[in-house]
Chains A and B, each alone.
Chain A
Amino acid sequence: MSKLGIFDVAVRYGKVPALSDVSFTVEEGERLFISGPNGAGKSSLLKAICGAAPTSHGRIEVDGDVLNGRSPEAIARLGLTMVPEGREIFGTLTVEENLRVGTGIRRDKAAIETDIEGVYESFPILGERRHANAGALSGGQQQMLAIGRGLMTNPKLMLVDEPSLGLAPNIVDQVYETLVNLQDDRGLTLIIVEQSSARAARVGGRMVLLRGGTVVGDGDAAKFAESDLLKEAYFGQDQSEEAT
């Protein structure tokens, strides 16, 4: 089971509040989009969950384990993995080395090799270039590698920050297809930050809408796409919706 609970969470950078009074829960196997305009606190929320940003208030729990105050490496051991904004792959390491970085936390050493082959099956291009420096991959391939690298930690819950950032639309389609397939195969819980609510609606799932660091909407992504709530959240920031 991997139920994520976020209770009254606040994050601040110095005196600047990034998130306040954020509460929601995510059920096991659910697909949740976090959407909202620039500066709404989407990335801050993800960072707070995975331990990369400290919370100033509130509680984050996975299956009853409180995450606040734990180090990122301790949180990774609880089965959470992060596919960060901008991919953050290790450019000087080879593709295969990138996949192995996250396997240090696993007890089932025997399964690691089969899982690496599994990643290569899902992403054949990574298999072809397994000994190449990851920095030489294209943006789309790096996104695949970042997802594969996260999978190698054998997670229950995967956080994906802006997977479509800087990628061509057809590549974004592929990325989402992969994510949905992975979820179906492994029963992963997925939390995806996606600025384009239209994209979220097309992929389907639940959506939490953030604005100004607080939750302003929570419901089915497809219904949101037509509602006024979304326009309110973006509040005239039409350029944020250019992807629609």
Chain B
Amino acid sequence: MNAIPQLLFDALSLGGIYAMAALGIALIFGVMKLVNFAHGEYIAFCVFALIVPSTDAVAVMFLGKAPAILLIPMLLLIGAVVAVASEFFVFRHVRNATPVAMMISSFALGFVIQNTLLLIYSSRPKAVSLWPELNQPVSIIGASIPLLQIIVIFTTLLVVVTLALLLKRTRIGLEMRAAAENFTMARLLGVRANVVITGAFALSGALAAAVALIMVTQTGVADIRMGGQIMLVAFIATVIGGLGSLPGAVAAGFLIGAASVILQGFLPLEARPFRDAFLYTLVIVSLLLRPDGLFAPRSTKPRV
């Protein structure tokens, strides 16, 4: 009876996670035309940074023991540091390579991170109990919603607004937008390539940490493969949104989240196991109709 508000909250919170992950990818693609497939592994890395390194099935909290007010900024910082380090040690050296070569190095980096986690924590998924009280339901407009969903929706809004303000109002934001549109021209005007790219990676890594916190609270599991699935969806969101378009990435993230929840809710019972097949069919249709993405950046060809 209260299915509609329930669906709405489900769609918004799932879409919010996808949107944040997609933003992390779109930010880096914008400034250096790199599709960073290691982004999912940043998320996994941040999740595992919460627990004590061991191969046991039940995780012992490490950083996860800290109070939220300390834990959140610390994990965002860890995400940013991992991403910036990966740029410094890996992507900086392939910056002038073809986009395909850069993408393949991001796969390689992803495998390195994943296997490092495998070595330290083993491949068994671990039960992690971070802020379990957030999964308690609260009643809103007749629907019973886990508190976390509401937090996720507000976090997404906060992230999107903060990012928009940062890009619109700050010097580094202006430089990032200029560099995303025409990197060479921005450099000719004195914009430092390294500063802009490092900034984009730091933001992207912090976004990965935010997604990690939400995922681990929601699922209660730390799994070294957890980055893969969300990375795939987030990548699809950036493509559908129009590669390089930040508003497009956010909108497409929400769109995929909504489509996924709606399919889950309205598909006939026997078809539900194939939900993702339906979802990706929609993705294909969308790409056939709008190959440049639904929200492709306006053509910036010079006017004559």
Contact = CB atoms under 8 A, between A and B. Distances in A.
A81 B181 contact: no
B302 interface: yes
Interface in A81-101: 81-82, 84, 86-93, 97, 100-101
A142 B182 CA distance: 15
B304 to A, nearest CB: 4
Interface string B185-199: 111111111000000
A51 to B, nearest CB: 8
Contact of B191 (A73, A91, A139): A73
Nearest to B168: A97
B174 A138 contact: no
Given A97-B174, A100-B174, A101-B175, A92 B300 contact: yes
Please classify how large the interface on chain A is, using the bins under 10, 10 to 19, 20 to 34, 35 or more: 20 to 34
Interface residues of B, number: 23
B187 A73 contact: yes
A71 B185 contact: no
B297 interface: yes
A129 interface: no
A73 B300 contact: no
A67 interface: no
Contacts of B297: 92
B93 interface: no
A236 B230 CA distance: 62
Contact of B303 (A50, A92, A137): A137
A102 interface: yes
A153 interface: yes
B178 interface: yes
B181 A93 contact: yes
A71 B194 CA distance: 11
A102 B189 contact: yes
Contact of B189 (A87, A139, A149): A149
A97 B189 CA distance: 13
A88 B192 contact: no
A14 B186 CA distance: 25
Contact of A93 (B177, B193, B302, B303): B177
B298 A73 contact: no
Interface string A114-149: 000000000000000000000101110010000001
B162 interface: no
Contacts of A90: 177-178, 181-182, 185-186, 300
B191 A104 contact: yes
- Most A-side CB within 10 Å, residue of B182, B187, B188: B188
A192 to B, nearest CB: 16
Contact of A139 (B181, B192, B304): B304
A77 interface: yes
B182 A88 contact: yes
A52 B297 CA distance: 25
A209 interface: no
Q: Which 9 A-B pairs have the closest CB atoms?
A: A102-B189, A105-B190, A76-B190, A91-B300, A166-B304, A72-B187, A88-B185, A101-B178, A82-B188
Interface of B: 171, 174-175, 177-178, 181-182, 184-193, 297-298, 300, 302-304
30 contacts: A52-B187, A52-B188, A72-B184, A73-B187, A76-B187, A76-B189, A77-B190, A81-B189, A84-B188, A87-B302, A88-B185, A90-B178, A90-B300, A91-B181, A91-B298, A92-B177, A92-B297, A92-B298, A97-B178, A101-B175, A101-B186, A101-B191, A104-B190, A105-B189, A105-B190, A135-B303, A137-B303, A149-B189, A153-B190, A166-B302
Interface of A: 50-52, 71-73, 76-77, 81-82, 84, 86-93, 97, 100-102, 104-105, 135, 137-139, 142, 149-150, 153, 166
Given A71-B187, A73-B190, A102-B189, 19 more contacts: A51-B188, A52-B188, A73-B188, A76-B187, A76-B188, A76-B190, A84-B188, A87-B302, A90-B177, A90-B181, A90-B186, A91-B181, A92-B177, A92-B181, A93-B178, A101-B175, A102-B190, A104-B191, A105-B189
